[in-house]
Structure 1
Amino acid sequence: MTDFYTLIASLPALPSHFDVERPPISRRQLAERLGQLSPEDAATVRQLADFFDWDRQPLDRTDAQIARELGRLQAVQHPLVLRIIRHRLDVRIVVSALRRRRDGHAEPVPIGDLGETIRRHWSDPTFGLGGRQPWIEPFARFMAAGEVVQAQRTLFDHTWRQWRRLSTEFTFSLEAVILYLARWEIIHRWTSRDAEAGRTRFDTMIQDTLGDHANLCL
């Protein structure tokens, strides 16, 4: 059994917002702390970490690739890990649809829980999702204006607020660790944008999000 009191007590507190100069703990140090997890808990956390690795790859994710990743969710048993992965995939599906519409393409083949809604509301600025997904309108506006960093900040801020709010419901548990990792990942990705060593990865992340339009804005 994992001693979550000892593990969580060893993790430095996360800031109130992701917009900081550096993460409060390095990736190496975080990995060392996670070595306290039991094999079963470590396997659960690995599923989330593997998805983050996929999500960070400097490749343009096609609808087919996203659909394949959705298919892999059958192997995810923990409800919170599943929720985090589904959220990020939903974001990718919406962003992909925004890019397709911006570039004058036809409606995408419906994939994921949002796919059919997007298809039916293709001409609506927020695909009929504005109430449930408030980040879409400002993201689309920043994307159209070429404000790449603000567009990315909008995505991160939306997700950060969700996981920070949810984290107040858990203390010394696996869920608390999972939400810590989900928020640490946002901080890490945001702070990496200014590091010389992380510049290429940030550029490809923006390319992944905004497509060819990013080349005109960076």
Structure 2
Amino acid sequence: MSDPDAYVALVVSLPSSERLFVAKRPPLSRLRLQRRLSALSEDDARTLARIEGLLSWSAYDRGSDLHTLVSRAKVLMADLPQRTLRRIVDERMELRTAMAALRMRQGGAGAPEGAWGYGVWTSHIAANWREPAFGLDRSMPWLRRAGQLLETGDPLALQRHLLDVTFRQLQRHAGRHHFDFEAVVIYVLKWNIFDRWAKADSVAAAQRFTELSEEALQNFPHLQAEGVGA
């Protein structure tokens, strides 16, 4: 059983952050965050870990199988009584399903059949496979832009777009929760977004530096001959 007073103290102890894409790093380290999360009850800590594991952004890097993620989501939803947390999982899994559809279509695949994704839009997506945003411009206004970024091959801009979408979704839910378990989960998921962008931005910065360095060396071939930049 969770202690309401302990959760109020926990939320109060969590530092606020700058605006997304402005902050260079999350407002506190993962180690310090974990120390504060020790105030969670065992059941809530386990639930948070399951939600984080399912919604982890690293799954995009691993190319996780959508069917596996859907199965895990359904098991989690069966154990998740909090309405807000269920809605958060729904939104993120529907986003993943729509993005999986965009990638499938870009790869030349035809409309999927049967139970292929998560959420209420799977049949609609399949039926509107050739529409730029699968006919979901009103329900998923972010999807058309995501498709354009996917087609132009700009992974950093696409990642930024998706992070912004999910961050705004969490912000909407945060307005209804302040000192409860849902507020803690929302904070941690937002922390993960800040962390994801900080890592992606630093990698992009390193790549830009390398490209600029190589371009500069091309203008001074004698430096390359002397081994500079090796």
- Residues 75 and 16 of structure 1: CA distance in aligned 2, closer, same or farther (over 3 Å): same
Q: Deviations over 1:131-158 (max 9, x none)?
A: 1111111111111111211111111111
| Match of residue 169 from structure 1 | 176
**TM-superposed deviation, 1:195:** 4.1
Q: Secondary structure at the match of 2:132?
A: coil
Q: TM-score, normalised by structure 1?
A: 0.81
| Match of residue 102 from structure 1 | 106
Q: Deviations over 1:163-200 (max 9, x none)?
A: 1132122211112111111111111111111446xx9x
Provide the rounded CA distance (Å) in 2 between the counterparts of 1:126 and 1:85: 21
Is the 2:156–2:200 Cα contact (8 Å) retained in structure 1?
A: no
**Mean Cα displacement is larger for which, 39-48 or 110-119?**
39-48
Q: TM-score, normalised by structure 2?
A: 0.77
Is the 2:111–2:126 Cα contact (8 Å) retained in structure 1?
A: yes
| Structure 1, unpaired ranges of 5+ | 200-218
- The partner residue of 1:93 within 94, 97, 109 is 97
| Match of residue 35 from structure 1 | 38
5 Å-filtered alignment, 1:172-211, equals 172-195=179-202
| Match of residue 226 from structure 2 | none
Q: Deviations over 1:17-62 (max 9, x none)?
A: 2442011111111000000112233233222233245x52442123
| Match of residue 48 from structure 2 | 45
Is the 2:54–2:69 Cα contact (8 Å) retained in structure 1?
A: no
- The partner residue of 2:167 within 149, 160, 171 is 160
**TM-superposed deviation, 1:87:** 1.8
Q: Secondary structure at the match of 1:193?
A: helix
Confirm or deny that 1:80 pairs with 2:84.
Answer: yes
Percent of aligned pairs with the same amino acid: 28
Please say which structure displays the higher CA radius of gyration: 2
Superposition CA RMSD, Å: 2.0
Which runs of 4 or more aligned residues in structure 1 lie more than 4 Å from their structure 2 counterparts after TM superposition? none
Q: Deviations over 1:56-107 (max 9, x none)?
A: 2442123322332233232333323322222221111111111111122111
Length, aligned pairs only:
196
Tell me the amino acid that sits aligned with residue 56 of structure 1: S
Is the 1:7–1:33 Cα contact (8 Å) retained in structure 2?
A: yes
- The partner residue of 2:29 within 26, 29, 32 is 26
Q: Secondary structure at the match of 2:70?
A: helix
Is the 2:174–2:183 Cα contact (8 Å) retained in structure 1?
A: yes
Tell me the amino acid that sits aligned with residue 147 of structure 1: D
